[in-house]
Amino acid sequence: MESKSKDKIEFEVVSVKIPKSVMKLLRDSEESLGETATQYLERCIVGLVRADIDAGDCFVPTPRRLAERYNLDPVFKEITGLTVEA
């Protein structure tokens, strides 16, 4: 069940090529993962973007300015439980 605040986040649908064997593993593991394969991939991708911003070596300007400019902290908080560190 998705949180109500997640409904306020604007999403974009993209097409990503994932090997069939990986998708089968994720779908077969949904019960133990506690989330669908789609939710798992969404969380991982958004979490990696947040981590890259935190690392400070992939994006400019500063991580904090990026998070503010794109209003990312609410998205990161809702999906990963974390925000961009200062």
Give residue limits of the domains in the chain. Answer: 36-86
The pLDDT tens digits of the residues spanning 65-83 come to 888 999 999 999 999 998 9
Q: What is the mean pLDDT of residues 18-31?
A: 96
Residues 6+ apart with CB under 8 A from 51: none
Is the pTM higher than 0.85? The answer reads no
Q: Is the pLDDT of residue 38 over 90?
A: yes
Written as one letter, the residue type at 48 is: L
| Buried/exposed 43-52: b ≥16 CB within 10 Å, e otherwise | eeebeebbee
